[in-house]
A and B are shown apart, each in its own frame.
Chain A
């Protein structure tokens, strides 16, 4: 064992070389992965599709039904199925020496190139049918995906700043600690003021609907209301007042985290169901095309 194991098994130090490369690698985001490798591949695919569309004489007119149309359609169909597999891939990390970052990078750029491939496949023929439905669904999926790329690239820094080194559990613990102090500090208050504090304490931390989550506006926030209406200038009310301010700030941090997380995730609730709908429409599209061939 110990040192000699590395010497005996070939590749014991092979992993070392691999590890050293990893330890020395620059930290590069999914967009820049390997010098924009997938961007270039996607651009090449798009350029080739356009060139083919322009240069190949399609009879009677550019259409999904010509041989070139079928080629584009097959490429597009294959891409859509492969792109949808990202959801499986990210949940199944082993076995295989692949990185999810490379997959995300490819997903983003190839997904964008699909807009070109898919559009050329239609031959710009639209109608009120299942074929156009599939096309529209595809565009919607791509648009939501673009939103996803934008928020992934811009929001993480604010998520980090808002966190201030606290975990979600710590944020809730901090609120609980404030609440405990607030409860004892509110004991000497009069009925009206005490009711305000009780209402603030009774309100669910996660109160508020999806709209409140996304906008960060909580008009019914009992803590803000208590702060606004807290009258009197005795020592007790001043202490409760400052505790309420701390509670408001702590809530703001929690709600800020919820808001950013919601913005980072909301699009997936459209992107994924639309993808499933797209695959269904696509299946109908393919079957009907072959049925009426």
Chain B
């Protein structure tokens, strides 16, 4: 066994590089372990010439290596140079497989490892932690010893490996850099996701390469790949360029051949190269094996860390994206700081100190940043369970605000998905929109705004400060992180939200005591899209409230299901069977992935017993629903065609994601003349790039759903935005601001393909110049060539950023696409208003 380093840094991304450079500058004995033959593999794999951005702009960079926004090549070159200049000890081809303590067993320090099998069974294994120094076992069999280990491995993970006999042969590879590299080979692709399909097509693209390419498919469908890729692959197969082998799996691999198990038995075919693209495993399993605990079982959870980034395994530190900080600048600062901490510098203040200090600047009370953080943490009950590092991180995504007496905090019907915690003072909720003088108080320590957070819908009531009040406004992202890190906070938010939902749902007159029993008995259940919650004819007796998502109500009329109505989040259902004891009269199923609150029928009945006013309201709602059902059923007899059209059109719209939309563009193709004026107006209203594609998308009964943002209740695009650039605006629009770093995550996450990545083109000559002198490309989006030429002439290259519809926020008159339609074909609607019998069956003419 060789030298024991003071620190070993695993991973040479921005975080690892910065840490290594700091260690080298301080003269610590160190080693930087990198699994490939180059530094910073994630950025290395970016496409050539990609513009890498440096956000947040207000964060100072604290690192021994430099970084500013620029081209991938420039940044990588600079880092290579500076790492060499700092004489950093880098060990390439050093992939860590395991880290274990070699000191004494630490008493009482046991890591519980929970493994979940595919069938849902769990197995628990205990690992005894051992003290440093740590032995880092590498893939090539070497061992590196270190007192401290810094994990800076990011979240990319390692590709899944093949497991059949012969899988470790050298001609099995997990990546394809340049398809043009291989000629005259028999190549088998394993994996039918987008990566596998793209590789197969790339290798077969040029017949001059004379490759014999086959792609293996365990089944017959390609469920995980994009539709366009699958179609292209099918076309290549039909054209004989490559071969899709369905219902085939690898049995064994040997040099020059591969054996497959197929429907018709085993098949041995020649094979010079195997490219396996079978997904990648998140690094969590590896990290847990090292003795590092995560904050929860949530997939999005991060490792538990101390204020100095130390994990639950003493001497192992976690920084960068794996610690929950995906931005390059954050990573580099942490690399610097963690080495300082290890080196004994306990006085160091985090680099984000000025950002957090600015958030408290406007509050009365003259406290220091640390005091403010502690003030919020101790006074807002859901924040009690956080540690100081988490509190800091939490504050980066949150705002502290002061409101004077009767100042409005938010208004009814304003959009907003943030959660508020009251640190001091109290607020008043205007429960009756008709009479603002009727209010319900919420005291210090509690929260409000949770309905917007959970359902993604607009604020249900106006809330004012009742006295001098300090609140912390927690962004949706921070609230989700909080819930995954602090289980007690999650439980508290859930309880309060159920209670409030009950109070709000059943209207005035109810008090917290009235619903207390029901809240206790309530269960939150998640429902998959299409999952049946209530089945027609069944005799179960629970009542449901839709917490998030939406439901559709169907009834079988003459064998076929007929769409009755659409229920948005916040509605309740199932009360009919409870009140009159009948069987379920209709089927209710989830339109999209949803959450419902299940209330036991008896509890609901008991509540009705005690509250005659509520009973009356429930009876009225029920009569309304009965009338709708009866109307459609009666129509079915006389106008069967209209009901079928309505039912099928509604189903078509729900299948196309309208159920989760808040504002969606539809085109009535009985009116659309195909002039594309909507696209042109869109481009002319937004930097010369159109954000909708009129022709693309599905059509049913002349109702067309073009490729354009639906402003989902829970936007998929927001799920993984490193700079948090995607927000919901004051009018409900989901928009991307200028801090976008162009990573493309949102584009990949959007199931509707409405986000494009492009650079803003220079300004066009004016309309008058075009009309009179023919200057410039004219109205609408300029051709790619014009934009490219104009940008070249302009000089400053612009980075590609994510572009999507912002509902023409800030433009007088509303969405330009609708205003620019000459015939009235383009409409923007919301599902709760549009999915009704009259709207769907009316004739547009």
**Same complex origin of A and B:** yes
A156 near B670 (CB under 8 angstroms)?
yes
25 contacts between A and B (CB under 8 A): A2-B727, A6-B414, A6-B730, A12-B730, A13-B414, A16-B458, A19-B731, A19-B807, A24-B830, A26-B842, A30-B671, A30-B823, A91-B778, A92-B779, A95-B812, A99-B818, A100-B820, A103-B822, A104-B823, A155-B673, A159-B669, A159-B672, A159-B674, A163-B699, A181-B239
Q: A12-B411, A29-B671, A100-B820 are in contact. List 17 more A-B contacts (CB 8 A).
A: A6-B730, A7-B410, A23-B833, A24-B829, A24-B830, A26-B842, A27-B671, A27-B842, A28-B844, A29-B823, A29-B844, A30-B823, A93-B819, A100-B819, A101-B821, A156-B671, A177-B238
Bits for A10-53, please: 1 = Cβ < 8 Å to B, else 0. Answer: 00110110110011111111111100000000000000000000
Residues of A contacting B815 in the complex (Cβ-Cβ under 8 angstroms): 22
A184 near B677 (CB under 8 angstroms)?
no
Residues of A contacting B669 in the complex (Cβ-Cβ under 8 angstroms): 156-157, 159-160
A181 near B238 (CB under 8 angstroms)?
yes
Docked Cα-Cα span, A82 to B587, in Å, equals 56
Contact of A4 among B409, B697, B807, B833 (CB under 8 A): B409
Residue A167 at the chain B interface, CB threshold 8 Å: yes
Residue B27 at the chain A interface, CB threshold 8 Å: no
Knowing A91-B779, A167-B695 are in contact, say whether A27-B844 is a contact too (CB < 8 A): yes
Most chain B Cβ neighbours within 10 Å, of A13, A103, A165: A13
Bits for A254-287, please: 1 = Cβ < 8 Å to B, else 0. Answer: 0000000100100000000000000000000000
Residues of B contacting A26 in the complex (Cβ-Cβ under 8 angstroms): 839, 842
Residue B235 at the chain A interface, CB threshold 8 Å: yes
Docked Cα-Cα span, A93 to B688, in Å, equals 13
Residue B399 at the chain A interface, CB threshold 8 Å: yes
Residue A229 at the chain B interface, CB threshold 8 Å: no
**Which residues of B line the A interface, CB within 8 A?**
235, 238-240, 399, 401, 408-411, 413-416, 418, 449, 452, 458-459, 473, 475, 663, 668-674, 677, 680-681, 684-685, 693, 695-699, 702, 704, 727, 730-732, 767, 771, 778-779, 807, 811-816, 818-825, 827-830, 833-834, 839, 842, 844-845
Residues of A contacting B704 in the complex (Cβ-Cβ under 8 angstroms): 160
> How many Å from the CB of B841 to the closest CB on chain A?
12
Docked Cα-Cα span, A101 to B730, in Å, equals 27
Docked Cα-Cα span, A165 to B704, in Å, equals 9
Docked Cα-Cα span, A199 to B586, in Å, equals 61
A93 near B816 (CB under 8 angstroms)?
yes
Q: Which 4 A-B residue pairings sit nearest by Cβ, starting from the closest?
A: A97-B813, A3-B416, A160-B669, A6-B414
Knowing A98-B813, A160-B669 are in contact, say whether A2-B695 is a contact too (CB < 8 A): no
Residues of B contacting A157 in the complex (Cβ-Cβ under 8 angstroms): 669-670, 702
B828 near A23 (CB under 8 angstroms)?
yes
Bits for A208-224, please: 1 = Cβ < 8 Å to B, else 0. Answer: 00000000000000000
Residue A153 at the chain B interface, CB threshold 8 Å: yes
Residue A67 at the chain B interface, CB threshold 8 Å: no
Contact of A13 among B411, B681, B727 (CB under 8 A): B411
Residues of B contacting A234 in the complex (Cβ-Cβ under 8 angstroms): none
**Chain A interfacial residues counted at CB < 8 A:** 59
> How many Å from the CB of B701 to the closest CB on chain A?
10
Residues of B contacting A9 in the complex (Cβ-Cβ under 8 angstroms): 730
Docked Cα-Cα span, A96 to B681, in Å, equals 13
Return the chain A residue nearest B459 by Cβ.
Answer: A3
Docked Cα-Cα span, A25 to B666, in Å, equals 13
Docked Cα-Cα span, A180 to B234, in Å, equals 13
Residues of B contacting A152 in the complex (Cβ-Cβ under 8 angstroms): 673, 823
Residue A88 at the chain B interface, CB threshold 8 Å: yes
Residues of B contacting A31 in the complex (Cβ-Cβ under 8 angstroms): 845
